[in-house]
Copies of this chain bind each other. A is one copy, B any other.
Amino acid sequence: MLILKHIPIRSFNENIAYINKDCSIYKVDNIKTLTRVEIHGGKKPVFAFLQVVENSKIIRPDELGLNSEAFEQIELSEGSKITLTLTPSAQSLQAVKRKIAGNILSSKDYCLIADDIANNRYSNMDIASFLVAMGSFVTPSEVLDLTQALRGDKNLDWGGEEIVCDYHCMDDIPANKVDLIITALVSAYGLPMPKLVLPSLNSTIGVLDAMKVLANVEVDARSLKKQVLERRGAVASLENIDICAADKIICGVERQNGLSTLERAVASMLANKLAAGITHLLVDIPVGIRSKIKTSQEAMRLRKLIEYVGDMLGLNVDVAITDGSEPIGSGIGAALEARDVMNVLKNKEEAPDDLREKSLFMAGRILEFDPKLRGGQGYLVAKELLKSGKAFDCFQMIVKTQGKKEPAQLGHLTRDIVADKSGSIVRINTALINRIAILAGAGQYAGAGIDIFRKSGESVTAGDILYRIYSCNQNDFAFVSSIIESGKTGFEIE
């Protein structure tokens, strides 16, 4: 018996058990590699990986420490008596090895893999292996099996609503915050749209980051249900919602190493939508040389795959292939993007046209899921909802219900990037522009980012402002300035 202690360290996805090198019960000096253990004493055994503590300040020889992730799972208080057993690798890793060897896995294999992952029996390494193995080849029916496995058996329930809508974009286009506007439009129409999103990576600004500037996004399942049934819409974090546990863990690994494949992205996306009780889904596939999907052929293959899996699982899916070559909207960075969204919803003159048009187009397609709407009317209905201010009112109600926030301050350090010659803007390097925004601090600070004043195709005169950089801290500002000074602005003028 060892005494349980909470070691308040977050290790990102992995359960870690800390054991003293002179542990009074288990002999650890032979441990030479990451060792899997099962910890008994709680309601169900918790899996963890051992790390050895070399003195007694953090863990005494009669104690076992658990990091925050594992401690939350064991549901015991500190001081509880626990025991330890060495466990072999997760059984389903055999299936991963078969996948590595090039085999097609069965539906049962995928279920076992998802179950082992959900129960923290995979190390991050194991998950990375699985992802790379999936990357070499995977059949459409395997994607279907994986989707079902990831979906799991926990579902959100919307009290018998016949149509529950969502919109999902398969790539991050900088500044593309149509999601918020679409949610406002669809909710204003009266169809429920519970938009649940995972927090974005450190290196991108996601839908949730923009929403966070305006409102609280941590909503529990019960409040979410009440809100969606009353207000018809929500933009909230998926992290607090207990569905698709295995998928959340896999996403954690993908975020870190960028190993995601389109097949995995499809399975993950559809599993989450299904478990979230979505019945009607519009999927946006942006195509562009700097997008994940570079050619229309790829986009078409992806569309077929989404349609196949969606159809097999009874989800009503509509797929739109769109232009992903340039940023949509003006601001990149949470506060600037939120500003763009609000400008569109308030029908302000400075609202970016492209952001408004894309939102109306997408919302229109979603509205047409409603059998009562005549084909082709969706866009016009959406436009009317925007013009009349109904979408704005609805969005305000959503924000109020989730918990309105004080407006975020833009970064106090600014720099204008101007055209170095007169001519026409022939291309905007989206990837570079995005990187400049990140270096300026977007993703870390809500108020950091860049505000783009000119679009591709426009004529400029030398000295015209192309975009403005906002930073919240001197380090970021100095760093991004040095990039700019090296001549990389992201705008090509000819």
Binding site for B on A (CB under 8 A): 7-12, 18, 27, 30-35, 51-55, 57-58, 68, 89, 93, 97, 100-102, 123-129, 131-133, 135-136, 199, 201-202, 252-253, 255-259, 443-445
Given contacts A129-B259, A132-B132, contact A201 B32 (CB under 8 A): yes
B residues in contact with A258, CB < 8 Å: 89, 97
CB proximity of A104 to chain B, nearest CB, Å: 15
Chain B proximity of A83: nearest CB distance (Å): 10
The answer on a CB contact under 8 Å between B52 and A256 is no
- Is B123 within 8 A of A126, CB to CB? no
Known interface pairs A9-B58, A12-B51; A129-B257 also in contact (CB < 8 Å): yes
Q: Are B52 and A9 closer than 8 Å at their CB atoms?
A: yes
* A276 to B123 CA separation, bound complex (whole angstroms): 33
7 further A-B pairs in the complex, CB-CB below 8 A; given A10-B52, A12-B32, A33-B252: A8-B57, A27-B444, A27-B445, A32-B199, A35-B202, A93-B257, A100-B132
A10 to B127, CA, bound (A): 22
Chain B residues, CB < 8 A from A58: 7-9, 58
Most chain B CB neighbours (cut-off 10 Å) among A51, A126, A129: A129
16 contacts between A and B (CB under 8 A): A9-B18, A9-B51, A9-B52, A9-B53, A12-B32, A12-B33, A12-B34, A93-B257, A123-B124, A123-B256, A125-B127, A125-B128, A125-B253, A125-B257, A126-B257, A132-B132
Q: How far is the CA of A89 from the CA of B128 in the complex (A)?
A: 15
Q: How many copies does the complex hold?
A: 2
Q: Is the pair B202, A51 in contact by a Cβ cutoff of 8 Å?
A: no
Contact of A34 among B30, B55, B256 (CB under 8 A): B256
- Residues of B within 8 Å of A443, CB to CB, are 30
Q: Which residues on the B side are within 8 Å of A199 (C-beta)?
A: 32
Give A166 Cβ to nearest chain B Cβ, in Å.
Answer: 22
Of the listed residues A51, A57, A102, A125, the one surrounded by the most CB atoms of chain B closer than 10 A to its CB is: A125
User: What is the chain B residue whose CB lies nearest that of A11?
Assistant: B51
CB nearest to A125 among chain B residues: B128
Q: State the Cβ distance, A141 to closest chain B Cβ, in Å.
A: 21
Tell me the minimal C-beta distance from A347 to chain B in angstroms: 33
Which residues in B have their C-beta under 8 angstroms from that of A127?
Answer: 125
- State whether A100 touches B135 (Cβ < 8 A): yes
